Amino acid sequence: MRVRIPGLYIVLGIVLAGLIHIVAVLMLPMLAPRNAQARLAELGPVNTMIELPAAAPGKQAMPMMAPDVRYAFCRFDLSNGPVRLSATIADDLWLIGLYTAEGDNFYAVAGADLKKANIELVIASADQTVEEAGVDSPESTDEVLVVNSPVNEGIALIRAPLKGPSRAARAQDALKATSCGPYSKSG
């Protein structure tokens, strides 16, 4: 005797399996024991710019690092006030990105968009106004970019793609000159 399963049960089973799959995929980043924040916390303190070593097979601080890109990062904590990031952008391909601890990008700027080599970026939380960050006059806002962060803890990442192997030393020197720390008017 053959048992017939109504088509409705088959459709419901497929829909339920799809929903379970979607929920599982969306929950994975929250369940990961070593997210970006945890991995980078092992490399240094908060509010300090840290240069990552060049990526090599089996020796990557983060997954998917490109070997022809140099990286520096700062885990920022805004609970004691705004944080200043200072950098000299060595070429148009550079990218500065700000991320939440979960890895969600909330700000990015490319070197080509900056139109200047030296950048001063102040990261402030949503409840800290521009005045609290120390930018008092309209003239000084031209020199300092103020980014309102949706979170108090996150990651600032600088990506420096190399135009060729001979440019590695120049990129590393520029990354070593970057800084990240508590904001003060004097810089």
Residues 101-145 pLDDT 10s: 888 899 998 877 777 778 888 999 878 765 544 444 444 445 778
Angle formed at CA 12 by CA 8 and CA 18, multiple of 5 degrees:
150
For 77-85, what is the mean pLDDT? 90
For 91-97, what is the mean pLDDT? 84
State residue 180's pLDDT score.
92
- Compute the distance between CA of residue 75 and CA of residue 100 in angstroms, rounded to an integer: 10
Say whether 154 sits in a helix, a strand or coil.
strand
Residue among 92, 82, 94 nearest 152 (CA)? 82
Q: Which helix (H) or strand (E) holds 22?
A: helix 7-31
State residue 166's pLDDT score.
76
Domain 36-182 has CATH 2.60.40: yes
How many Cα atoms sit within 13 Å of 81 on the Cβ side? 11
Highest average pLDDT, of 92-101, 125-134, 166-175, 177-186, comes from 92-101
Give the rounded percent of residues in the chain with a pLDDT score beyond 70. 87
- pLDDT at 162 exceeding the cut of 60: yes
Give the rounded percent of residues in the chain with a pLDDT score beyond 90. 28
Average pLDDT, the chain: 82
Q: Beta strands of 34-187 (E only): which ranges?
A: 49-51, 69-77, 83-88, 95-100, 105-110, 118-125, 145-149, 153-161, 179-182
